[in-house]
Structure 1
């Protein structure tokens, strides 16, 4: 008979190849904290509900607390031959106490609800860290000097120069985009913050569990009521992967602008030396490698989402080992996304924009033509479509002469010939990139006043998200410390009911979902 914890009906053990193919210990290392915390909460509940004898529960808790301290010191190691984190910890307790005592720990629980609970607990930490990393990058983008309100860049549509914008306008645009990523991460946190513990394999159990108690001890907002859904659900993983993929894509878009604009043909921005490398053969090169890698690694976060969607689409309700393959890909997406956020925050601090070059490009690329059309509408009473046609005719005529809007003398002559004269001095003022930039005073526009108003709105949103971040971190920390404190008090002889009533008094109630 095999000595595996599940091996009662088996006459022979799995082969080394099968073990190597199915084990997850290398992936499960991240879940040790969650599995131990969950084990402690579960045993506290088993003792409180008198599902296992009180002294047995105390002995198991004492063993689990020793393992927690070992983990805190970085000394707890998983053994591959024990397949996963769950069997590792259970086996450690059994080796410490014997099967007659340690074997009670898994009462009224399955690896099916156990793994989902661990993954949700880990994802909560990830989402909190991702929100914090986004807010750090957003803070850098919003902390620009007043000069950036008038530092000119060409704005682009269709990858062609469109209208003048400012550096501050560009930075607030990316900050606005990243704040949506924060909202997505918070939404994904909410869907992960539901406790499946107590659903067991798929159908619940005949034991009198208190699922609300374990949910509160683990810091969950709610209990995922339906046992089959609780053990089958992986949409919370897909939603998290979608948040990472969209966030990676948004960072990639910023990276693309940095890469493109740092090229000699644009020369609009330069990254600091610390975020670039040189060429092995061309001594003149300065390559924006961080931004380039961010573009490429966005594919890894997107690929994880596709992998999870494909993995889950053909699986019926109830656990299947296909679902075991979710974590290796998701862990990689998490690491890729968080590392990109961190390195981008440092890169953003050192970006140097060339406003003079930006202004020259705006002149040369006819970026202010729209303002002349608007002038005809506002000052001459011409319908916009006609004003658009007149201005387009001016641009075409200048191009044939090899001139740009900077040649205001030629422009005034052409407009007179078109029957819509504008004094050269007026034309020079209308077509100046700075005039255009400061005149877009509509809400959300490029004028310094409009950009400052948006920056204030974004900062207010950052404050709200920061408050949520602080509350959430305190809540999770409090749940963990209260669980550990309760376990220690009970190990020292405290009454289960009295200790747990005190421990949960400060924890918020849970809902059912």
Structure 2
């Protein structure tokens, strides 16, 4: 810490103040990235003729040897740990040159982006794995009939495949949002120095390329001041975690005795310390709660940034732990959810039995009156509602079709054939007649599964290419450093 205090300031911070203002606890996330930034900066210093080739080679040699598993509590941050190590091994005459033309301001902004882009790739990979699990389950249960719900009341019959594909599509939008974030994350602030750039002829574009970036945050003041890339990413993660929480809630409800739609795997359940019969959906419950972590992190981050003047302020340091926590929580939650969905088994008989209750076929019966008796829909809606009231507690599907037909004739003065009544009150017929794009009809489900299988292939190839490019650029940087 003392290497930055020898001129303007005397003495050192008290241990309490040092601990209070240090980012050392969380800088371990960016340790490898800061080393890589220093290697790229060293290469640019040599290429610009600012330091000699031999000096660059010696600096690079020590940098490559640095392995940081923890940061000493008396150090201010990871940047000072690395510079101190260079000075310790090479002396200030040479080690002190590493900071020429750069600042911790541009270096930390760059390191955050480098670490965050890796997180985004990892989370996107986890999203793809979750989508694959949802798709496999959809294929396994294409004929599983179940009630669809609004207000958690029986609404219309659908299929389990249709239900799971809805979540597939939700998570696909989350993936798209994160990949869109990636484009803005993967821009380099390096070379902005403290805020006004540098008077040394450092090539910012080359520096960006060495570090695997696609371009620059051009305005140097903007480059060190903004954390919008962090806010945007955590916003996308929070929206994603809302849907993790929603599917977790559905699983919890479906696993209850009242529903009985799903049998949870033992490895995702716990029992009671007193009630031996209990099989509690603990994994799903924690998944449901984890959305609160991401949302809390987002609110904290926005609150930290909301009133900061340009350029850098140490408040920004307090944002970073929330960024990493949101990334970790999201990544782990996706992994756990994928395993849970893969191992769950659904009770098709119970789901179909439930679909027969609650008169979820009512809309189709009303539609049948419109199609075959020529009634206005609003009239048909009222007639079917009256019939349901008279049949209660039996549902439309449980009542004899002859009784339903009799009530239709009584209320409309028109006759609907028994065969049409039987079709209208059959949940499977209800599903298959809804064959519009995206509907639950079996042929449409087959088409959607096939289309999403191809979509996953394309998306996985794209994400794999992002990862491969970073590895390629890192290897190229090491090769150039080795050639000094």
Return the TM-score normalized by structure 2: 0.97
Measured against aligned partners, the alpha-carbon deviations of 1:323-344 in whole angstroms (never above 9, x if no partner) come to 0001111211111111110011
Distance in 1 (alpha carbons) for counterparts of 2:74 and 2:138: 58
Distance in 2 (alpha carbons) for counterparts of 1:20 and 1:298: 30
**Which residue in the other structure is 2:239 paired with?**
246
**Which residue in the other structure is 1:265 paired with?**
258
Q: Is the deviation greater in 281-290 or in 146-155? A: 146-155
C-alpha distance 145-298 of structure 1, shift in aligned 2 (>3 A): closer
Match for 2:395 among 374, 380, 404? 404
**Which residue in the other structure is 2:37 paired with?**
38
Distance in 2 (alpha carbons) for counterparts of 1:349 and 1:147: 11
Match for 1:276 among 249, 269, 273? 269
Match for 2:466 among 441, 458, 472? 472
Shift of 1:66: 1.6
Say whether residues 1:338 and 2:331 are aligned partners. yes
**Which residue in the other structure is 1:200 paired with?**
193
Say whether residues 1:371 and 2:364 are aligned partners. yes
Measured against aligned partners, the alpha-carbon deviations of 1:227-276 in whole angstroms (never above 9, x if no partner) come to 00000011000001111101111111100100011111111112111111
**Which residue in the other structure is 2:172 paired with?**
179
Match for 1:446 among 440, 443, 446? 440
Would you say the 8 A contact 1:397–1:414 is kept in 2? no
Would you say the 8 A contact 1:430–1:436 is kept in 2? yes
The secondary structure found in structure 2 opposite 1:82 is coil
Distance in 2 (alpha carbons) for counterparts of 1:440 and 1:21: 62
Match for 2:298 among 301, 305, 314? 305
The secondary structure found in structure 1 opposite 2:178 is helix
C-alpha distance 254-284 of structure 1, shift in aligned 2 (>3 A): same
C-alpha distance 99-138 of structure 1, shift in aligned 2 (>3 A): same
Would you say the 8 A contact 2:138–2:164 is kept in 1? no
Measured against aligned partners, the alpha-carbon deviations of 1:407-426 in whole angstroms (never above 9, x if no partner) come to 12332222121124333343
Distance in 1 (alpha carbons) for counterparts of 2:139 and 2:51: 67
Shift of 1:76: 4.6
Distance in 2 (alpha carbons) for counterparts of 1:94 and 1:253: 53
Q: 1:103-122 to 2 correspondence within 5 Å? A: 103-122=96-115
Shift of 1:461: 2.1
Measured against aligned partners, the alpha-carbon deviations of 1:24-67 in whole angstroms (never above 9, x if no partner) come to 11201110111011100011001100122222222111111222
Q: 1:46-445 to 2 correspondence within 5 Å? A: 46-67=45-66, 71=67, 76-144=69-137, 146=139, 148-399=141-392, 402-405=393-396, 406-408=398-400, 409-418=402-411, 419-445=413-439
Measured against aligned partners, the alpha-carbon deviations of 1:460-509 in whole angstroms (never above 9, x if no partner) come to 2212211111111110000101111111111xxxxxxxxxxxxxxxxxxx
Shift of 1:183: 0.4
Measured against aligned partners, the alpha-carbon deviations of 1:160-193 in whole angstroms (never above 9, x if no partner) come to 1111111111111111100001001101111110
Would you say the 8 A contact 2:195–2:221 is kept in 1? yes
**Which residue in the other structure is 1:460 paired with?**
454
C-alpha distance 18-352 of structure 1, shift in aligned 2 (>3 A): same
Shift >6 Å, 4+ stretches: none
**Which residue in the other structure is 1:487 paired with?**
481
Distance in 1 (alpha carbons) for counterparts of 2:414 and 2:104: 79
Would you say the 8 A contact 2:138–2:160 is kept in 1? no
The secondary structure found in structure 2 opposite 1:7 is coil
Corresponding residue pairs, total: 481
The secondary structure found in structure 2 opposite 1:162 is strand
Measured against aligned partners, the alpha-carbon deviations of 1:89-109 in whole angstroms (never above 9, x if no partner) come to 111111110000000001011
Name stretches of at least 5 consecutive residues in structure 2 with no aligned partner. none
Distance in 2 (alpha carbons) for counterparts of 1:315 and 1:237: 15
Distance in 1 (alpha carbons) for counterparts of 2:321 and 2:44: 31
Would you say the 8 A contact 1:277–1:287 is kept in 2? yes
Name stretches of at least 5 consecutive residues in structure 1 with no aligned partner. 491-513
Return the TM-score normalized by structure 1: 0.91
Q: Is the deviation greater in 378-387 or in 122-131? A: 378-387
Measured against aligned partners, the alpha-carbon deviations of 1:115-136 in whole angstroms (never above 9, x if no partner) come to 0000000000000000000000
Distance in 1 (alpha carbons) for counterparts of 2:77 and 2:2: 15
The secondary structure found in structure 2 opposite 1:81 is coil
Distance in 2 (alpha carbons) for counterparts of 1:478 and 1:200: 26
Would you say the 8 A contact 1:153–1:268 is kept in 2? no
